[in-house]
Amino acid sequence: MNKQERLENRLQPKIAEFREERQTLVLSTLSEDGFPHISYAPFVRLADGYYILISEIAEHTQNLLVNKNLSFMLLEDEQDAKQIFARHRLTYKANAEVMSRESESWALAIPALEARFGEIVSNLSGLSDFRLFRIEPQKGRYVRGFGKAYTVNGNDDIDFVHLEQGHKQIKEEVNA
């Protein structure tokens, strides 16, 4: 087994566990006129992507309807972080697509969201302004602390070690 395989075998379970411990995605979307907007949404992950159920009234929904490109982040809770400057996080560049109410995706994702978050999901999905989006991650980064950043693909496979040498100390200049 080579170094890459050992790294993947060690980190993939950690990434999966980290992801399952999170309940919300921090979303970064772009408005029609190019301004970034940050928000969040509860999610469920299925085999073909992350699913969020959000209202057309929300700015992030309007943004996704005009621009399917976004970034999202899963972030360690502040109170759980050993070091606030090095919170664990998983970030992705991604694409979003609206799922129709008649789609197989809707039939799978709504019950999965309901199992995860309760009856509120069936209440919200029954409202005409709520849309189901499938978010497909493309390329991302998993950070476990200082000097522990790894590039991942959309399936959470480790592509390569991003930082091998770690951070470098600034050397003070000595005046002679």
Domain boundaries defined on the chain: 3-153
* Per-residue pLDDT reduced to its tens digit, 146-162: 888 888 877 766 665 55
Residue among 154, 129, 121 nearest 50 (CA) = 154
The pLDDT, as a whole number, for residue 173 is 59
* 3-153 maps to CATH 3.55.50.30: no
Whether residue 34 has pLDDT greater than 80: yes
DSSP conformation letters of 47-111: TTEEEEEEETTSHHHHHHHH--EEEEEEE--GGG-S-GGG--EEEEEEEEEEEPTTSHHHHHHHH
- Rg of the chain in Å (alpha carbons): 19
The pLDDT, as a whole number, for residue 12 is 86
The token duo for 148 is 């522990």
Whether residue 4 has pLDDT greater than 80: no
Determine the average pLDDT of the residues in 52-64: 97
Predicted model pTM: 0.87
